[in-house]
Amino acid sequence: MENYHITHDDDRWVLREEGDKRALIEAATKEDIIAETRDYMKLRTASVKIHTVDGQIEEERTYPRDQDPRATKG
């Protein structure tokens, strides 16, 4: 499973693959980057960690959503 991070960078929000400095998607707001990430992940199996402005991990989402371990028994 691939790992991605949504982080705040200067005056924008960016999606990057873990270990890559290149921004895959950029957006002005956190809501916009999350929406664009949802579309980008439609054909991928991945984990996306969403960070706060100060860099702390706020949430983790698994794509496709049915792959989320919290949705499974055990």
pTM assigned to the model = 0.86
Sheet holding 46-51, edge to edge: 25-27, 12-17, 2-9, 46-51, 57-63
Q: What are 32-47's pLDDT values in tens digits?
A: 999 999 999 999 999 9
Q: What is the pLDDT of residue 63?
A: 93
Q: Name beta bridge partners: 16.
A: 5
Question: In the predicted model, is pLDDT for residue 73 greater than 60?
Answer: no
